[in-house]
Amino acid sequence: MPWEKSFDESDVVEKTMKVFWKKGYAATSISDILDVTGIKRGSLYNAFDGKEDLFMRGLLKYDAEQRRSMMRELESVDDPRKAISMFFDYIVRSSNSDCDQKGCFLVNTSLEFSQHSEAVQKVVTDAFKEISAFFEKQIKRGQERGSIPDTISPRETAKALVASLVGIRVMGRGTFGKAALQQIADQAKRLIA
């Protein structure tokens, strides 16, 4: 075994992810990536397959470290209303604390569908399906224990909550002010009130 890489591969993916996240796929050039990682061209292509590969890795990393990890924490919340509420608060908080206003990488990517492979599309759609399923499950749990009214439809309300979430993420990129995002979240919660 003759040599180890001089750079941390996952660090490169992390930095690359942030560029794609902020600027989108098409608007990000390889040069941008070289600049932000400090790595050289040859090293990049020695370690990765190319732009698409880099994007995919970044997206998977985001999905695992941001969305999945947050949802895993919320799974352990006992009170279903609180679990849903915490989800929204988390989104609002992370939207408001990001001074780059990058929004959500998954949402951003879903509006770039036409430029991406089906593999990428699947990551995104699966993510939204899981979020929707999460909401649905929590609503059902709430109905079982009487904290959420039986009159509402779990599946359809879940989808509406996802849409609100997406809306918050989009408006958080600069269209509405910070205060508005929390207000929207609070209103969305009325759907399960």
Give the position of tokens 């075994």.
1
> Per CB under 8 A, which of residues 115..154 are in contact with a second copy?
115, 121, 124-125, 128, 152-153
* 183 is an interface residue for a second copy by CB under 8 A: yes
CB of 31 to DNA, least distance (A): 4
> Per CB under 7 A, which of residues 126..185 are in contact with DNA?
none
Count of residues that interact with a second copy, criterion CB under 8 A = 47
Q: Which residues have a Cβ under 8 Å from the Cβ of 137 and sit 6 or more positions away?
A: none
Helix (H/G/I), strand (E/B), else coil: 176 = coil
CB of 45 to DNA, least distance (A): 4
* 163 is an interface residue for a second copy by CB under 8 A: yes
Instruction: Between 58 and 80, name the residue whose CB sits nearer to DNA.
Output: 58
Q: How many CB atoms lie within 10 A of CB 176?
A: 16
Q: From the list DNA, a second copy, none, pick the one residue 6 interacts with, judged by a Cβ distance below 5 to 8 Å according to partner type.
A: DNA
Nearest residue to 193 via CA among 162, 166, 169, 157: 157
Q: How many CB atoms lie within 10 A of CB 91?
A: 21
* 171 is an interface residue for a second copy by CB under 8 A: yes
- Measured CA to CA, the distance from residue 81 to residue 9 in angstroms comes to 40
Q: To 10 degrees, the CA torsion angle through 132, 147, 77, 179?
A: 70
Contact code string over 30-49 relative to a second copy, x by CB under 8 A = --------------------
Q: Which residues have a Cβ under 8 Å from the Cβ of 12 and sit 6 or more positions away?
A: 37, 39, 44, 47
CB of 45 to a second copy, least distance (A): 22
- Measured CA to CA, the distance from residue 105 to residue 124 in angstroms comes to 9
- Measured CA to CA, the distance from residue 53 to residue 61 in angstroms comes to 12
List contacts with DNA (CB under 7 A): 1-7, 28-32, 39-43, 45-47, 50-52
- By the criterion CB under 8 A, which residues form the site for a second copy? 22-27, 101, 103, 107-108, 110-115, 121, 124-125, 128, 152-153, 156-157, 159-160, 162-168, 170-171, 173-176, 180, 183-184, 186-188, 190-191
